[in-house]
Structure 1
């Protein structure tokens, strides 16, 4: 009888402690985010189109974005005139959100696409990469396209 009572209380304690344990929701970890967006970190992304308009060849400095490898929430680049850097959140393999980016304040010549470039980045809420081309989108509307340039290691 003593053994049955011991087994009963042991099982009751096990059930009690197991019932008190709640499963934590699964969210993307930093390693999941990096793995799900690994291609972002492999290229320097040079601007090819902005709001559907091709960027003319021969621009003195091509605007670009670069996602900092080893720092999954950092982005830096150039607007074609000023350097930029800031934070980016990649929620899954397609959702993206740029925090307001800091830029240097050099005087830019007329015809520079800096303001529309920064506006497009701020509007982006998702992305897709096809054939080494990064498309930043707002919903289903493309706001900027970039060509991937392989970075030297």
Structure 2
């Protein structure tokens, strides 16, 4: 998405910025996290992660639009589908197991129900840590005690 009329902020209450500019910060850490079973986890970057649960709320699959997150393998760019609207922004990996999203900008289409979309974008905005177990990505806030969102690698 370029600096255009399509690029708008969702809600300032979510901590999203209204500018289409962002600063990229180089990643200095690996993009996968080891899991307890010792198997090779799915790569964090370059994988299309489908949203399966936000907080304690499981999602029912929609054949129309999959809600997903994808982190670019070469750049610190995130993009995805939040439900009704597409989003893009930056991310950083400050240390092993840490993930932070920069400003996430989204289209602003009229949608009948934005509850899941708002919850997903809020989870991304509040994410500070992550854990990958096999093909499942768990996003956490400051504490790993609470899972903000659960995503599963898309099988091809």
TM-score normalised according to structure 1 size: 0.71
CA distance in 2, matches of 1:77, 1:111: 15
Higher helix share: 1
Of the two, which has the highest radius of gyration? 1
Asked if 2 retains the 8 angstrom alpha-carbon contact of 1:42 and 1:150, the reply is no
Q: Which runs of 4+ in 1 moved over 6 A?
A: none
* Correspondences of 1:116-131 after superposition (within 5 Å): 116-131=119-134
Asked if 2 retains the 8 angstrom alpha-carbon contact of 1:43 and 1:150, the reply is no
Alignment gaps of 5+ in structure 2: 1-25, 33-42
Alignment equivalent of 1:47, drawn from 42, 45, 51: 51
Correspondence 1:95 to 2:98: yes
Asked if 1 retains the 8 angstrom alpha-carbon contact of 2:77 and 2:90, the reply is yes
Seen in structure 2, the aligned counterparts of structure 1 residues 95 and 88 have a Cα distance that, compared at 3 Å, is: same
| Partner residue in 2 for 1:37 | 31
| SS of 1:119 mapped into structure 2 | helix
| SS of 1:100 mapped into structure 2 | strand
| Partner residue in 1 for 2:148 | 143
Structure number with greater CO (CA < 8 Å, separation at least 6) is: 2
| Partner residue in 1 for 2:73 | 69
| SS of 1:99 mapped into structure 2 | strand
Number of residue pairs the alignment of both structures matches: 119
Asked if 1 retains the 8 angstrom alpha-carbon contact of 2:130 and 2:139, the reply is yes
Asked if 2 retains the 8 angstrom alpha-carbon contact of 1:81 and 1:112, the reply is no
CA distance in 2, matches of 1:77, 1:45: 9
| Partner residue in 2 for 1:13 | none
| SS of 2:80 mapped into structure 1 | strand
CA distance in 2, matches of 1:91, 1:50: 24
Asked if 2 retains the 8 angstrom alpha-carbon contact of 1:44 and 1:149, the reply is yes
| SS of 2:118 mapped into structure 1 | helix
